[in-house]
Amino acid sequence: MAAQASPAQASTSGTTGLRPAVVIGGNRIPFARSNGKYSTASNQEMLTAALDGLVARFGLQGQRMGAVAAGAVLKHSKDFNLVRESVLGTALSPTTPAYDVQMACATGMEAIGSLANKIRLGQIESGIGGGVDTTSDAPIAVSEGLRAVLLELSRARTLQQRLGALSKFRPKDLTPNAPGTGEPRTGMSMGDHQAVTTAAWGITRQAQDELALASHRNLAAAYDRHFFDDLITPFRGVSKDTNLRADSTLEKLGTLKPAFGRNLGEKATMTAGNSTPLTDGASAVLLGSEDYAREHDLPMLANFVDFEAGAVDFVNGEEGLLMAPAYAVPRLLARNGLTLQDFDFYEIHEAFAGTVLSTLAAWEDPDFCRDKLGLENALGSIDRGRLNVNGSSLAAGHPFAATGGRIVATLAKMLHEKGSGRGLVSVCAAGGQGVVAILEAR
Amino acid sequence: MSRRDVRLDAVPALPRLYAEALANQVRTKLTGSSGALVLPEVEHSVDGVRADVPRLEAYQQLVGDTVRPTLPSVFVHGTVFPVAMSVLAARDFPLPLLGMVHLSNQVEHLRPIGVDEALDVRAWADKLRDHHAGTAVDVVCEASVGGEVVWVGTSTYLAKGIWAGQRPERRRDRPEFVAPVQTGAWRLGAGAGREYAAVLGDYNPIHLGALPAKALGMKRQIAHGMFLAGKALAQTAPREGGYHWDIVFEAPVLLPATVSFGVATTDRLRSFEGWNATSGRRHFHGAVRPL
């Protein structure tokens, strides 16, 4: 063992000696494009619907779960206890503790992963992890100027102080602040950041469109063979993800104009077709110990083996915004004694087709793996026939915090159907972060 | 050094200095008594300058810096620079202050400076020299705490169309600008100059609005160079310890604007550039190096 710590070197604590955390099942509502079918649905309503479906499917009525952990990326301040409030609206026992998690698009993965850890440590027997997001029913805040005036007004004790506060009001302060997808420290949108990374790795438009097309075809085929029948509960008259375009073609995708990285000129390759749209939706995953599953006669689809978070310095241009999983995966592999090729399924979240393809290109690149990951050899390529085989975010859509739950439930079911093998999950997130995980079939 | 010390009671207010400079320029125009281009052997100084905490927080929020009780380098500049302006606005300064072009800055930020430290400031003009477009001059500001120099900033200005001696040949054209990898985008509103002025007090008319800017020969109002430097340093300056930084200004940022920004790090040197993606012109470039 080299003594020098490298970026890819894992902690040596290991993960053995703990009991398994088992994925029992999942439930989500169909994802809907922003300002469409769910435009008036709140985060609490959608998360409650996803939990209700899970409770009904697994007979959890009246049960006191160990914990429910979920979150939303775009959250109203009134939703400070979003998950607890949602739980109180379900048939779960009101004595079930719940808490909110927030880690941008990795919210769902962090919620599920830390619940799995608690189960493995024996602290809880069961848990529900997931997430929800709406960009339609988004929180809109008053401007900083108006907020400052209102706060000063609330502190004012005398008429003079009140008038003083009011005198600071300016008409332009009436313009409200709506949330955006821009990175606070760089001012660039996530898409524009990824466009720089996509161009740096030389990912072609053709390759991105092909990945997008495969996502739609794979998701459509999964619906056709009723794969999602026990993973989705209809909501507001929707029974299938509304972004799915089963009849999409490379020709149609090829006609779209670049939507991101337009400053790159001819190198701009990212369109609305090979990028995820803004989406509304919610998901939930039921986890438990083996004892819990047996006691309640519940299925055991897969073990949630281990997970790892990563982060990169995108602010100073050291790395692309969405490349953190490229660094987290080798650490996770090393800790678990695995290679990148030891998996039967790869679930790489399609924030943008360019994100998936840049990550794969990085793992195939010996210079990147040596200079950035500190590895002797490249991690190598994967069998592309094992990548996102039941579709991913380009087709299903991506309600930020709900994506982790969609992926874990889908992968656990795929592994259980196959009856053996492992799956690798990789989810990138705003702020230059990401969470990756390993699941194992049961 | 034999500079005469002109001791000021307090850091002067910039609007008053601008007004005095304007009066001097008008007087010079009327009397035609511009005199020789010789720098006065003076330094202006103020002791015990303290930063204003609400102003510091307003600055940190404006440029996107971390809000904490140490002074960002550009905030130090904004706090002490009126002492230098006092040198430039005085009647014995040979170049017209208003309309001078800000070319570059070089700063030694020798150690973190706490918000409650009292700064002894002195400033002088140095190195008057011919430039192909006019006469350039360095304005040096030095801040000390109890005799220890903590911050030294050199700002280089250009008075266009004025030469002491022979007009030098134009340098060969600089190589065509090739945009680096973009790491940021700054959306600056039409009022960005007014917002910066409200925090650091630099109400130079060229930054305030289209009409005053046009009166001084600009197409529209332009962003303060030090506002751009402050935004760049908010991202690139080390979070602890001292550092050296510099910035060179090229095409002005006409407001409103979107400035494309790029940072690259090699070894300990962190370099940055800002440019206009539409015109392909570079606004500024600079670098930060920890000491």
* Mean pLDDT of the B33-37 span: 64
State the nearest Cα–Cα gap between A145 and chain B, in angstroms: 12
- d(Cα A48, Cα A70) in Å, to the nearest integer? 11
CB atoms B265 and A318 under 8 Å: yes
- d(Cα A261, Cα A170) in Å, to the nearest integer? 35
pLDDT of A258: 94
Higher pLDDT, B18 or A376: A376
Contacting residues of B for A188, CB less than 8 Å apart: 182-185
Say if B236 is an interface residue toward chain A (CB within 8 Å): yes
Catalytic residues of A: 105, 398, 428
**Given pLDDT bands bounded at 50, 70 and 90, which one contains residue B35?**
low
Token pair in block for residue A343: 């998996």
Token pair in block for residue B88: 């430039």
**Of B139, B170, B201, which one is at a domain's C-terminal end?**
B170
Say if B23 is an interface residue toward chain A (CB within 8 Å): no
**Of B170, B185, B215, which one is at a domain's C-terminal end?**
B170
Say if B105 is an interface residue toward chain A (CB within 8 Å): no
- d(Cα B285, Cα B206) in Å, to the nearest integer? 21
| The residue count for chain B | 291
CB atoms B185 and A185 under 8 Å: no
Q: What is the pLDDT of residues A355-375, one digit of tens each?
A: 999 999 999 999 999 999 999
- d(Cα B264, Cα B184) in Å, to the nearest integer? 12
CB atoms A196 and B183 under 8 Å: yes
pTM: 0.89
Q: What is the pLDDT of residues B205-228, one digit of tens each?
A: 889 888 888 887 788 999 999 999
Indicate if B158 and B178 belong to the same structural domain: no
What Å distances lie between residue B276 and A56, A263, B171, B266, B279, CA to CA?
A: 57, 10, 23, 24, 6
Q: What share of chain B is helix, strand, coil (3-state, %, to 5)?
A: 25, 35, 40
* Mean pLDDT of the B75-94 span: 90
* Mean pLDDT of the A409-430 span: 98
Indicate if B180 and B166 belong to the same structural domain: no
Is the pLDDT at B96 greater than 90? The verdict is: no
Q: How far is CA A127 from the centre of its chain?
A: 18
State the nearest Cα–Cα gap between A189 and chain B, in angstroms: 9
3-state secondary structure of B287: strand
CB atoms B265 and A316 under 8 Å: yes
Please identify which residue in the block is written with the tokens 């690259």. B264
Q: Which domain holds residue B260?
A: 173-291
Please identify which residue in the block is written with the tokens 């001292």. B242
Contacting residues of B for A186, CB less than 8 Å apart: 183-185, 235, 261
Contacting residues of B for A192, CB less than 8 Å apart: 182, 185
pLDDT of A222: 98
- d(Cα B188, Cα B179) in Å, to the nearest integer? 20
Q: Is the ipTM of this complex over 0.85?
A: no
Residues 6 or more apart whose Cβ sits within 8 Å of residue A388: A214, A215, A218, A346, A347, A348, A350, A356
Half-sphere exposure of B190 (CA within 13 A, CB side): 5
CATH number reported for the structural domain that contains residue B6 in this entry: 3.10.129.10
Most confident of B62-66, B80-84, B94-98, B99-103: B62-66
Half-sphere exposure of B115 (CA within 13 A, CB side): 12
State the nearest Cα–Cα gap between A261 and chain B, in angstroms: 10
pLDDT of A10: 47
Compare all CA atoms of chain A with the CA of B278 and give the residue at the minimum distance: A263
Contact in structure between B117 and B47 (CB atoms under 8 Å): no
- Nearest Cβ partner for B181 among A184, A196, A315: A196
Q: What is the DSSP letter of B239?
A: S
Residues 6 or more apart whose Cβ sits within 8 Å of residue A252: A273
pLDDT of A181: 65
Is the pLDDT at A3 greater than 50? The verdict is: no
pLDDT of A127: 98
Indicate if B121 and B185 belong to the same structural domain: no
- d(Cα A144, Cα B191) in Å, to the nearest integer? 16
- d(Cα B92, Cα A328) in Å, to the nearest integer? 64
Q: What is the pLDDT of residues A146-198, one digit of tens each?
A: 888 888 888 888 988 888 888 888 877 777 676 666 899 999 999 999 999 99
CB atoms A188 and B185 under 8 Å: yes
Element (H, E) at B18: helix B14-31
Token pair in block for residue A176: 């409200």
| The residue count for chain A | 442
Please say whether the dihedral angle defined by the alpha carbons of residues B84, B85, B91 and B92, taken in this order, is positive or negative: positive
- Nearest Cβ partner for A263 among B64, B182, B263: B182
Half-sphere exposure of A62 (CA within 13 A, CB side): 1
Question: C-alpha angle A301/A302/A308, rounded to 5°?
Answer: 145
Contacting residues of B for A187, CB less than 8 Å apart: 184-187, 261
Indicate if B211 and B291 belong to the same structural domain: yes
Indicate if B248 and B265 belong to the same structural domain: yes
Least confident of A13-17, A66-70, A219-223, B242-246: A13-17
Nearest of A296, A426, A411, A346 to residue A23 by alpha carbon: A411
Residues of chain B above pLDDT 70, percent: 96
Q: How far is CA B48 from the centre of its chain?
A: 22
> How would you class A367 by CB atoms within 10 Å of its CB: exposed for 0-12, middle for 13-18, buried for 19 or more?
exposed
Q: What is the dihedral of CA B52, B55, B56, B62, to 10 degrees?
A: -170
Compare all CA atoms of chain B with the CA of A185 and give the residue at the minimum distance: B64
pLDDT of A16: 67
What Å distances lie between residue B233 and A183, A429, B290, CA to CA?
A: 17, 25, 12
* Mean pLDDT of the B140-154 span: 97
Asked, as a colleague might, if the bond just before B256 is cis with ω within 30 of 0, I would say: yes
**Given pLDDT bands bounded at 50, 70 and 90, which one contains residue A1?**
very low
Indicate if B180 and B92 belong to the same structural domain: no
**Given pLDDT bands bounded at 50, 70 and 90, which one contains residue A11?**
very low
Nearest of B49, B64, B69 to residue B113 by alpha carbon: B69
Contact in structure between A209 and A353 (CB atoms under 8 Å): yes
State the nearest Cα–Cα gap between B50 and chain A, in angstroms: 26
Contacting residues of A for B190, CB less than 8 Å apart: none
Compare all CA atoms of chain B with the CA of A200 and give the residue at the minimum distance: B181
- d(Cα B26, Cα B16) in Å, to the nearest integer? 15
Contacting residues of A for B277, CB less than 8 Å apart: 263
pLDDT of B34: 56
Helices (H) and strands (E) in chain B, counts: 6, 11
The domains located in chain A, with CATH, are 1-143+182-437 (3.40.47.10)
Provide the number of structural domains found in chain B: 2
Indicate if B257 and B182 belong to the same structural domain: yes
**Of B137, B170, B203, which one is at a domain's C-terminal end?**
B170
* Mean pLDDT of the A195-204 span: 96
Indicate if B166 and B182 belong to the same structural domain: no
CB atoms A186 and B184 under 8 Å: yes
CB atoms A186 and B185 under 8 Å: yes
Mean pLDDT of chain B: 90
Q: What is the pLDDT of residues A290-301, one digit of tens each?
A: 999 999 999 999
Contacting residues of A for B262, CB less than 8 Å apart: 317
* Mean pLDDT of the B43-54 span: 93
pLDDT of A241: 98
Contact in structure between A363 and A326 (CB atoms under 8 Å): yes
- d(Cα B134, Cα B102) in Å, to the nearest integer? 13
Is the pLDDT at A65 greater than 60? The verdict is: yes
* Mean pLDDT of the B160-164 span: 80
Number of Cβ pairs < 8 A linking chain A and chain B:
46
Least confident of A13-17, A91-95, B159-163, B274-278: A13-17
Q: What are phi and psi of B56, to 5 degrees?
A: -60, -45
Higher pLDDT, B166 or A51: A51
Indicate if B55 and B151 belong to the same structural domain: yes
Indicate if B31 and B145 belong to the same structural domain: yes
* Mean pLDDT of the A94-117 span: 98
Q: Three-state secondary structure along chain A?
A: CCCCCCCCCCCCCCCCCCCCCEEEEEEECCCEECCCCCCCCCHHHHHHHHHHHHHHHHCCCCCCCCEEEECCCCCCHHHCCHHHHHHHCCCCCCCCCEEECCECECHHHHHHHHHHHHHHCCCCCEEEEEEEECCCCCCCECCHHHHHHHHHHHHCCCHHHHHHHHHCCCHHHHCCECCCCECCCCCCEHHHHHHHHHHHCCCCHHHHHHHHHHHHHHHHHHHHCCHHHHCECCECCECCCCCCCCCCCHHHHHCCCEEECHHHHHHCCEECCCECCEEEEEEEEEEECHHHHHHCCCCCCEEEEEEEEEECCCCCCCCCCCCHHHHHHHHHHHHHCCCCCCCCEEEECCCEHHHHHHHHHHHHCHHHHHHCCCCCCCCCCCCHHHECCCCCHHHHCECHHHHHHHHHHHHHHHHHHHCCCEEEEEEEECCCEEEEEEEEEC
* Mean pLDDT of the B229-233 span: 97
What Å distances lie between residue A318 and A313, A322, A324, B267, CA to CA?
A: 5, 12, 11, 12
Q: What are phi and psi of A358, to 5 degrees?
A: -65, -40
* Mean pLDDT of the B246-268 span: 94
Indicate if B166 and B177 belong to the same structural domain: no
Residues 6 or more apart whose Cβ sits within 8 Å of residue A271: A205, A209, A253, A256, A257, A258, A259
Higher pLDDT, A25 or B94: A25
Q: What is the pLDDT of residues A129-138, one digit of tens each?
A: 999 999 888 7
Indicate if B265 and B187 belong to the same structural domain: yes
Contact in structure between B142 and B120 (CB atoms under 8 Å): no
Q: Enumerate residues 30 to 69 of chain B having a beta carbon within 8 A of any beta carbon in chain A.
A: 64
